[in-house]
Each structure stands twice: as structure tokens, then as C-alpha cells.
Amino acid sequence: MLTRRHIRAKVMQSVYAFVQSGRDNVETEQKNMLTSIDKIYDLYILMLNLLIEVAEWDKAIVENRNRRLNIPEEELALSEVLAYNRFTVKLSQNKTLLTATEDMRIGWSDKDEYLQILVKEIKESELFKRYQKRDKYTFKSDKNFMIDVFKDIIAPNEKIHEYIEGENISWLGDMSVANSMTHKTLTHVFEDSSDDETLMSLYKDNEDKEFAKSLFVKTVMKSEELTKLISEKTPGWDSDRIAQLDLIMMQMAVCEFLNFPSIPTKVSINEYLELSKDFSTPKSKVFINGVLDKLWRDLDRENAIKKSGRGLV
């Protein structure tokens, strides 16, 4: 599921898009942001299905070869390590996944080139060769094998990343959270799991979704007020000279100082410093830290920051 940091990143990107577009319909842009976040769930479903489709692709190859050749039983057993993997068979029977897949307009059924690449890489890997040498195959061993395949071969695959980016340009930045959700889901599939087993939720709870909506609206609606506060603490700097993303991250942080009483100020500062590492320049972190630290102390002295709630315990 999404962490607050990832939510902040999506809000930041949406505020930036709103500013750059020059549009003024906040409600429409908020809906676009929520749609973009919801699409992460589609990516999660897509990655879960990829594991199943890879096994199905290999199964088709194995069955076609078996029809043409009289393959020794020992060799056949080795070829079925991927094709008839107990774990992927179990995953494919999950009704929640089946329903979610039917609701999506994209999938892997007509993406043979990617499945072919993955199956080839898997079968040429040391991971696959080691697993073939086992004396016994169980559901647990099949599960561990497929989780390793996902982590080591599928998730980092550049061709898959190219496809994902082509389908939805924002998805490339969402791969880490989708892959994390996929990995956690795989670890929670067991031999005796119900076919009605629920999948992961995108948000931890409704509070996180409301946080995303509120942070976006408050940052956009109070941008002039927030910019003025920041400018007062950056003598010699014109707001026009501050990198747009740096300014937006500082606006969002100050917005949290003043409008989100349950979020400790230190948490807000640390979160935006971490975001600056991924989205801005190396010098930005030092600059943003200096500005936010001064703002926090000045606003605290003026009793402008009111914090309360369980987050402060």
C-alpha cells in the first residue's frame, strides 16, 4: 500500500502539473491526481498477472513440445518447474485478482514478445538452474522460487519498464510501490489460502486518501500566502529564482506545519528532504532544510503552529 511519502510525491507532481498548465479548476486537477494514484492499483494487478502469464507462456511451449516429441519423464519434470509451478497455479485461482483483471483494459495476453524475453531470461538464470537440481518440489519451494524470480528477474527488467512507461508515463515512477505491493502479496499466498483471499488495498485507510486530497487543495489554494512566508525567510532570493519543484516542496511542508495538526513538524521536514533527493538537485536538500528549519522555529515562536494528536506521542 501507499506510504505517506509516496502520497506526498504524487501530490507534489500534481501541484507542479497544475502550476505549469496555467489552469484554475482545482477540483478537476484534484480528480486527475486521485485518478493517477488509483492507476497504481492497476499497475499492481498488472505485475501480479505477469508472474502468472510467464508460467502460462512456458506451459504453452512445454505442451506444444510434448505433442511433437516423446520427452523422457525426467526431462519433462524439469521443464515443468516453471510451466506447472504450484504457486502460480494457486495465484491464478484468486477470485479477487481475476475480477480486478477483467476490469482492466490492458494485460499480457497479446504481449508475447515480453513474455518470451522473460521466459528466456528465467531459464538461462542461475536461479532456474539451481532450482532444477532439487530432489523434491513442494508448494513452499515453488513459492520461494517464483518470489525470487519476481525480485531478481521480472521487477528490474528493462524491457518491462519500457512497456510500462509506454502504457502510462507516470507508471515508471510508481514501479517501486507497485512492485513492493506485489512482493508483499506473493509472500501472503499459501497453499491453504482461500480463493476469495483479498488483495492489498492501495491506501492504508481513508485518512490517507483524505490527506492526499486536502494537502493538494490547501497547497494550491494558499500558494500565494505560503510563497510569501517562504520569501520572508530567504533574503536575497526572489521566488521566481527558486526552482519550481523546490518551491512546491517547501509550500507543501509549510502547509503541513500550519494545517495538519497531527503531523509532527520534524516529520514534515524530513519527508520533504527525502523527496528532494529524488526529485531535485543535491544542493536543494541543504537549501530546503535551511529555509524550513528557520520557518519552523519562527512560526513556533509566534505560536502559529498548533500540533496535537497521536502523531506527537
pTM for this structure? 0.88
Hey, how many other C-beta atoms are within 10 angstroms of the C-beta on 187?
A: 11
Residue 167 within any structural domain of the chain: yes
Domain boundary at 187, 214, 235, which? 187
For the record, the C-alpha cell of 235 comes out as: 533574503
Give which of 14, 42, 34 is closest to 178, Cα–Cα: 42
Domain of 258, CATH number, reads: 1.10.940.10
CA distance 308 to 313: 9
Tens of pLDDT, residues 14-52: 999 999 888 788 999 999 999 999 999 999 999 999 999
Asked whether residue 241 is assigned to any structural domain, the reply reads yes
Identify whether residues 141 and 271 lie together within a single domain: no
198, part of any domain = no
In a domain, 30, yes or no: yes
Reported as a pLDDT band with limits 50, 70 and 90, residue 313 is very low
- How big is the chain by its Cα radius of gyration, in Å? 24
Domain around 256: 222-312
Residue with cell 488483495: 199
Residues 183 and 226 in one domain: no
DSSP state of 151: I
In a domain, 201, yes or no: no
* 227 and 145 inside one domain: no
pLDDT (tens digit per residue) in 161-192:
999 999 888 898 899 999 999 999 999 999 99
pLDDT digits (tens, 9 = 90+) for 203-222: 999 999 999 999 999 999 99
176 lies in the same domain as 255 = no
Total domain count for the chain? 2
Residues 33, 181: one domain?
Answer: yes
